[in-house]
Structure 1
Protein backbone atom coordinates (compact mmCIF):
# COMPACT_ATOMS: atom_id res chain seq x y z
CA UNK A 1 0.00 0.00 0.00
CA UNK A 2 1.38 3.39 -0.94
CA UNK A 3 1.21 6.66 0.93
CA UNK A 4 -1.35 7.87 -1.62
CA UNK A 5 -3.63 4.98 -0.66
CA UNK A 6 -3.07 5.79 2.99
CA UNK A 7 -4.09 9.38 2.25
CA UNK A 8 -7.27 8.08 0.63
CA UNK A 9 -8.05 5.96 3.68
CA UNK A 10 -7.34 8.91 5.96
CA UNK A 11 -9.69 11.07 3.87
CA UNK A 12 -12.41 8.40 4.12
CA UNK A 13 -11.88 8.15 7.89
CA UNK A 14 -12.45 11.88 8.24
CA UNK A 15 -15.58 11.75 6.05
CA UNK A 16 -16.97 8.78 7.97
CA UNK A 17 -16.25 10.53 11.28
CA UNK A 18 -18.30 13.53 10.14
CA UNK A 19 -21.13 11.23 9.05
CA UNK A 20 -20.99 9.41 12.39
CA UNK A 21 -21.29 12.66 14.33
CA UNK A 22 -24.26 13.75 12.24
CA UNK A 23 -26.02 10.39 12.55
CA UNK A 24 -25.40 10.33 16.31
CA UNK A 25 -26.88 13.82 16.68
CA UNK A 26 -29.98 12.80 14.72
CA UNK A 27 -30.61 9.26 15.94
CA UNK A 28 -28.86 9.16 19.33
CA UNK A 29 -25.71 7.46 20.54
CA UNK A 30 -27.27 4.02 20.98
CA UNK A 31 -29.13 3.81 17.67
CA UNK A 32 -28.41 1.04 15.20
CA UNK A 33 -27.26 3.59 12.63
CA UNK A 34 -24.79 5.20 15.01
CA UNK A 35 -23.40 1.85 16.09
CA UNK A 36 -23.10 0.75 12.44
CA UNK A 37 -21.16 3.88 11.46
CA UNK A 38 -19.00 3.59 14.57
CA UNK A 39 -18.09 -0.01 13.71
CA UNK A 40 -17.29 0.93 10.11
CA UNK A 41 -15.08 3.74 11.35
CA UNK A 42 -13.30 1.40 13.76
CA UNK A 43 -12.63 -1.06 10.92
CA UNK A 44 -11.25 1.66 8.66
CA UNK A 45 -9.01 3.03 11.43
CA UNK A 46 -7.68 -0.48 12.11
CA UNK A 47 -6.84 -0.92 8.41
CA UNK A 48 -5.12 2.46 8.34
CA UNK A 49 -3.07 1.71 11.46
CA UNK A 50 -2.03 -1.70 10.16
CA UNK A 51 -0.62 -0.30 6.95
CA UNK A 52 0.71 2.92 8.46
CA UNK A 53 2.80 1.12 11.06
CA UNK A 54 3.97 -1.38 8.47
CA UNK A 55 5.23 1.53 6.36
CA UNK A 56 6.95 3.10 9.37
CA UNK A 57 8.72 -0.16 10.19
CA UNK A 58 9.94 -0.52 6.59
CA UNK A 59 11.11 3.06 6.52
CA UNK A 60 13.30 3.05 9.66
Structure 2
Protein backbone atom coordinates (compact mmCIF):
# COMPACT_ATOMS: atom_id res chain seq x y z
CA UNK A 1 0.00 0.00 0.00
CA UNK A 2 1.29 3.46 -0.92
CA UNK A 3 0.66 6.42 1.37
CA UNK A 4 0.80 10.00 0.15
CA UNK A 5 0.15 13.16 2.12
CA UNK A 6 -2.77 15.53 1.78
CA UNK A 7 -0.42 18.14 0.29
CA UNK A 8 0.51 15.77 -2.53
CA UNK A 9 -3.13 14.91 -3.21
CA UNK A 10 -4.02 18.60 -3.24
CA UNK A 11 -1.18 19.29 -5.69
CA UNK A 12 -2.36 16.50 -7.98
CA UNK A 13 -5.94 17.81 -7.81
CA UNK A 14 -4.80 21.27 -8.89
CA UNK A 15 -2.72 19.84 -11.73
CA UNK A 16 -5.62 17.70 -12.91
CA UNK A 17 -7.97 20.71 -12.82
CA UNK A 18 -5.63 22.56 -15.18
CA UNK A 19 -5.41 19.52 -17.44
CA UNK A 20 -9.20 19.15 -17.44
CA UNK A 21 -9.68 22.75 -18.52
CA UNK A 22 -7.18 22.34 -21.36
CA UNK A 23 -8.74 19.10 -22.54
CA UNK A 24 -12.26 20.55 -22.40
CA UNK A 25 -11.19 23.60 -24.41
CA UNK A 26 -9.64 21.41 -27.11
CA UNK A 27 -12.04 18.47 -27.30
CA UNK A 28 -15.28 19.88 -25.86
CA UNK A 29 -17.17 19.28 -22.63
CA UNK A 30 -18.83 16.06 -23.80
CA UNK A 31 -15.76 14.34 -25.24
CA UNK A 32 -14.66 11.03 -23.81
CA UNK A 33 -11.28 12.54 -22.93
CA UNK A 34 -12.89 15.34 -20.90
CA UNK A 35 -15.24 12.95 -19.14
CA UNK A 36 -12.40 10.57 -18.30
CA UNK A 37 -10.27 13.37 -16.87
CA UNK A 38 -13.25 14.68 -14.90
CA UNK A 39 -13.81 11.22 -13.42
CA UNK A 40 -10.15 10.98 -12.39
CA UNK A 41 -10.48 14.38 -10.74
CA UNK A 42 -13.63 13.27 -8.91
CA UNK A 43 -11.80 10.21 -7.59
CA UNK A 44 -8.91 12.29 -6.30
CA UNK A 45 -11.23 14.79 -4.63
CA UNK A 46 -13.07 11.93 -2.93
CA UNK A 47 -9.78 10.47 -1.68
CA UNK A 48 -8.73 13.91 -0.43
CA UNK A 49 -12.01 14.47 1.40
CA UNK A 50 -11.95 11.04 3.03
CA UNK A 51 -8.31 11.46 4.07
CA UNK A 52 -8.89 14.96 5.45
CA UNK A 53 -11.91 13.74 7.42
CA UNK A 54 -9.95 10.84 8.92
CA UNK A 55 -7.09 13.15 9.86
CA UNK A 56 -9.46 15.55 11.61
CA UNK A 57 -11.29 12.69 13.30
CA UNK A 58 -8.02 11.19 14.61
CA UNK A 59 -6.55 14.51 15.75
CA UNK A 60 -9.56 15.80 17.66
User: Scaled by the length of structure 2, what TM-score is found?
Assistant: 0.91
* Alignment size in residue pairs: 58
Q: TM-score, normalised by structure 1?
A: 0.91
Greater than 2 Å deviation, 4+ residue runs: none
- Any stretches of 5+ residues in structure 1 without a counterpart? none
Residue number in structure 1 paired with 2:18: 18
State the alpha-carbon separation in 2 of the partners of residues 54 and 31 from structure 1.
35
Give the Cα separation in 1 of the matches to 2:24 and 2:59: 39
RMSD: 1.3
> Which ranges of structure 2 fall in alignment gaps of 5 or more residues?
none
Alpha-carbon distance in structure 2 between the residues aligned to 1:12 and 1:51: 14
